[in-house]
Structure 1
Amino acid sequence: MDIWLASLIVILCLLMSAFFSAGETAFTGTSKARMIGLAEKGDRRAKRVLRILEARERFLGTMLIGNSIVNIGVSSLATSILIILLGKHYGVIAATVIISILVIIFAEILPKTLAIKSPDGASLRMARWVVYAMRILGPLTQVAGWIVKIILRILGEKVRHSEPLLTPSEEIKGQVALLHRQGDVIKDERDMLGGLLDLKELFVSDVMVHRTKMESIDADLPAIEIVRQVIASSHTRLPLWRETQENIVGVLHSKDLLRALSAVDGDASRLKIDEIALETWFVPESTSLQDQLQAFLSKKTHFALVVDEYGEVMGLVTLEDILEEIVGDIADEHDLTVEGVRPRKDGAVIVDGTVPIRDLNRAMDWRLPDEEATTIAGLVIHEARQIPNTGQIFNFYGYRFQVVRKSRNRLTALLITPLDKLKTKMPG
């Protein structure tokens, strides 16, 4: 073969190797979400990129096989040329050194560096040529895949389709968390996006007002007394019970009560509370927040009572409770302020045992797990595998938990200190 023709083929192979290296890097780092957005606007190149990403295994096989073929071609032809020019001994040594430098710099590092700087733009520009390469090398890629699967079966390895390690929601959360650390997303925006994605993973039992804290009214009280209790309450909807507080017979809305009171010229004795009360809506405690939000919207109501598998009332949930999972605490001029989280100057925090873990995480920007327990007291009991006594200290998840107050079997207050805060106080 003519030396000049062989040299031209070597240069062509180096360019093709650079193409395969850049393509692999660009399509691996490209944003699928952005490509979907461009495709919906009619960008044909973005549609090609999406088709390539959907055939990920075939794409990667094409890039690897193509790169290997051209690199082998470069090595073989360059070695032949240099042997002719320098002789067998020096030609092999020179070929090894020169081709290694050329391949590493011009076929690997340089194209991958350029591609990773703008993976979306590189993918759009290369999409057409990558499709051609996949068509040409597709059969070879399939054959190589079959051979690999046969070898794996012989070795006793089970061949499974690849499964994503993260759910789409977790991938989005991870991306948002990364953007937050980089300063592109503020904490409130991160919390709102995270809360929205968590709705289908949380249940009404996680956010409900427990029955021990639920404000309700005895339906058998005189009407004038019921009016007084409704006016004194900070809530607009109050459950009515009869005989026992677990026997809820209806829900009294303050606006309905005021309308009825106006209709009887303010004479509370003429009110018939049972006729004013709304029908009670019971929902299972296992209902996801996403389903409950949709149910609230479809029924055009904001209030439901939560029951367990035996039909016993466990508490109540409102539309506001669900919205607060997304936007944080919603307070108005009638809300009663409850000091459940009290930060101290030394970095420690005094927390009421009934404070939900999710609320504490949102307030302090912590990451305590809430899979096994809903409240902070529940988390300590779960991790300690006992009901601790006052003064006991436990370390887990990067925090020190000290029981400050206890009432019977309930942990009413805990002192929580991040362990890194403790280390900074230690001398030496």
Structure 2
Amino acid sequence: MTGDAFLAFLAEHWLSLVSVICLLLLSAFFSGSEAALTAASRARMHTLESNGDRRAGVVSRLIERRDRLVGTLLLGNNLVTILATSLATSLLISLVGSSAVAVATLGMTVLLVVFAEVLPKSWAIASPDRFALVVAPLVRPFVAIAGPVSALINTIVRRLLNLFGVNLSSDMPMLSAQEELRGAVDLLHREGSVIKADLDRLGGVLDLGELEVSDIMIHRTAMRAINADEPPELCVREILEAPFTRLPLWRGSTDNIIGVVHSKDLLRALAEPDVEPASLDIVKIAQKPWFVPDTTNLRDQLNAFLRRKLHLAIVVDEYGQVQGLVTLEDILEEIVGDIADEHDIDIQGVRQEADGSIVVDGSVPIRDLNRALDWSLPDEEATTVAGLVIHESKSIPEERQAFTFYGKRFIVMKRIKNRITKLRIRPAEDGTSIG
């Protein structure tokens, strides 16, 4: 074809050429809008809407029905793509003759993939929230018009899939909101946007509903309490010398908790005129004890602490036997990590050795060890490091016995009766599981 003939062709078919270009731009708009609106953050849109951004409200309403939104955008994209390809083919028939179909297919494929798919979607994914805010007002009227058609198509698709046993009617997500939030924050931590301390704190909040008070309580063997039958001056000395503000009070046996003594109540009582430690009745100043089941999850227990304005509860099992105690501080430490003050006794229970190994008290919680050393030892079946070794070995190990699991070598250093009190942990040298 000569140059004059080509110019004549352009003059005759300029409207069709402009239409093909406009249809390609529309296809790019639908593709970019689909990518941006499906990737937009609902939390971010909610925040912007609360701050008065009307466009964010439009985005939120559009993505509430993602199936309808995606179906409508795909419908529009397919319509303009098919129309653009048809127009291009009809133009090329008069230009190149019988090879028009092949030329149109190849040319439109390149144009659609590059300019109507990859380019707009890459742009949209690079900044989905900003892109979504821009296109949402333009997408909304199209969704309102074509939405019923998309809904009909979705209904047909669901009916067809039902014939093959696939049910899309359930609105239950594959992941819970907590799992989605945990996964998102973990991903941001890996990318460097969230520091480990913040990751641990958020993980602690999310884990409250999965942990029970028995997982974090101070066990009865380590629980510090006051014997009400001892001389009053001895009780006063023990309370004032204790590093704790509140102490359980028992009589007869440690299972018989009759109250909780607050050091401030003790000091107020001692400040009364003519009151001496020897004449003080500890039972009268003690508060009524609060007993909670050992199966109570930490979220409920935290809410109960806040509702009752108490800081300490006695943990009992299903038979009413005292298992230990739990405090508000214990639960808060699951969120923010160890809370130490000037009166705390510094017993970490974890010591780094010169050879790279870690010496750990058997009573150290697995969660605390994981946080401190960035490990991932499982804590579903056991709460403490000693409990993990017993669970994995299916026995009560002897001293100097060693086991390898979860990429670590556990060596029992000290055992008292049936309790493992000290272990050495070092990286496993081979892939053996237990030995």
Matched-pair contact (CA < 8 Å) for 2:249–2:261: yes
Which residue of the other structure, out of 148, 152, 156, is the alignment partner of 2:157? 148
Matched-pair contact (CA < 8 Å) for 1:342–1:351: yes
Cα distance, 1:366–1:250 mapped onto 2, change above 3 Å: same
Matched, 1:27 2:37: yes
Matched-pair contact (CA < 8 Å) for 1:264–1:271: no
Report the Cα offset of residue 274 of structure 1: 1.6
Matched, 1:326 2:335: yes
Report the Cα offset of residue 346 of structure 1: 4.5
Moved more, 27-36 or 256-265: 256-265
Matched, 1:267 2:276: yes
Which residue is 2:353 aligned to? 344
Equivalent AA in structure 1 for residue 131 of structure 2? A
Q: d(CA) in 2 for partners of 1:58 and 1:106? A: 25
Report the Cα offset of residue 201 of structure 1: 2.5
Moved more, 150-159 or 203-212: 150-159
Matched, 1:157 2:169: no
Matched, 1:236 2:245: yes
Alignment of 1:17-416 (within 5 A): 17-89=27-99, 91-263=100-272, 265=274, 267-416=276-425
SS in 1 for 2:346: coil
Q: d(CA) in 1 for partners of 2:170 and 2:98? A: 48
Matched, 1:8 2:18: yes
Equivalent AA in structure 1 for residue 110 of structure 2? I
Q: Which blocks of at least 5 consecutive residues in structure 2 are unaligned?
A: 1-11, 431-435
Q: d(CA) in 2 for partners of 1:63 and 1:388? A: 64
Q: d(CA) in 1 for partners of 2:307 and 2:408? A: 43
Matched-pair contact (CA < 8 Å) for 1:236–1:253: yes
| Identical pairs, percent | 54
Spell out, residue by residue over 1:62-81, the C-alpha distance to the aligned partner (whole angstroms, 9 max, x if none). 12222222222222221221
Q: d(CA) in 1 for partners of 2:247 and 2:190? A: 43
Show structure 1 runs of 4+ deviating over 4 A. Answer: none
Report the Cα offset of residue 165 of structure 1: 2.5
Q: d(CA) in 1 for partners of 2:306 and 2:171? A: 38
Cα distance, 1:384–1:141 mapped onto 2, change above 3 Å: farther
Moved more, 238-247 or 153-162: 153-162
Which residue is 2:3 aligned to? none
Report the Cα offset of residue 364 of structure 1: 1.0
Report the Cα offset of residue 245 of structure 1: 0.9
Equivalent AA in structure 2 for residue 100 of structure 1? T
Spell out, residue by residue over 1:255-293, the C-alpha distance to the aligned partner (whole angstroms, 9 max, x if none). 222222232546222111221111111112222222222
Cα distance, 1:384–1:19 mapped onto 2, change above 3 Å: farther
Report the Cα offset of residue 135 of structure 1: 1.9
Report the Cα offset of residue 372 of structure 1: 2.0
Report the Cα offset of residue 383 of structure 1: 2.9
Q: d(CA) in 2 for partners of 1:332 and 1:348? A: 29
Cα distance, 1:21–1:242 mapped onto 2, change above 3 Å: same
Q: d(CA) in 2 for partners of 1:390 and 1:221? A: 38
Spell out, residue by residue over 1:156-179, the C-alpha distance to the aligned partner (whole angstroms, 9 max, x if none). 334442432322222222222222
Cα distance, 1:121–1:159 mapped onto 2, change above 3 Å: closer
Q: d(CA) in 1 for partners of 2:81 and 2:355? A: 61
Q: d(CA) in 1 for partners of 2:324 and 2:254? A: 11
Equivalent AA in structure 1 for residue 216 of structure 2? V
- How many residue pairs match? The answer is 419
Equivalent AA in structure 2 for residue 294 of structure 1? N
SS in 2 for 1:74: helix
SS in 1 for 2:371: helix
Matched-pair contact (CA < 8 Å) for 1:14–1:106: yes
Equivalent AA in structure 2 for residue 110 of structure 1? L
Could you tell me the TM-score, scaled by structure 2's length? 0.90
Cα distance, 1:405–1:37 mapped onto 2, change above 3 Å: same
Cα distance, 1:153–1:34 mapped onto 2, change above 3 Å: closer
Q: d(CA) in 2 for partners of 1:397 and 1:150? A: 47
SS in 1 for 2:221: helix
Q: d(CA) in 2 for partners of 1:374 and 1:198? A: 14
Report the Cα offset of residue 396 of structure 1: 3.4
Moved more, 56-65 or 5-14: 5-14
Cα distance, 1:385–1:16 mapped onto 2, change above 3 Å: farther
Report the Cα offset of residue 414 of structure 1: 2.5
Which residue is 1:426 aligned to? none
Cα distance, 1:50–1:263 mapped onto 2, change above 3 Å: same
Spell out, residue by residue over 1:324-347, the C-alpha distance to the aligned partner (whole angstroms, 9 max, x if none). 112211112221121411123454
Moved more, 173-182 or 218-227: 173-182
CA RMSD between the two structures: 2.0
Q: d(CA) in 2 for partners of 1:323 and 1:222? A: 35
Q: Which blocks of at least 5 consecutive residues in structure 1 are unaligned?
A: 424-428
Equivalent AA in structure 2 for residue 47 of structure 1? G
Q: d(CA) in 1 for partners of 2:23 and 2:400? A: 73
SS in 2 for 1:173: helix
Moved more, 50-59 or 133-142: 133-142
Matched-pair contact (CA < 8 Å) for 2:211–2:297: yes
Equivalent AA in structure 2 for residue 63 of structure 1? L
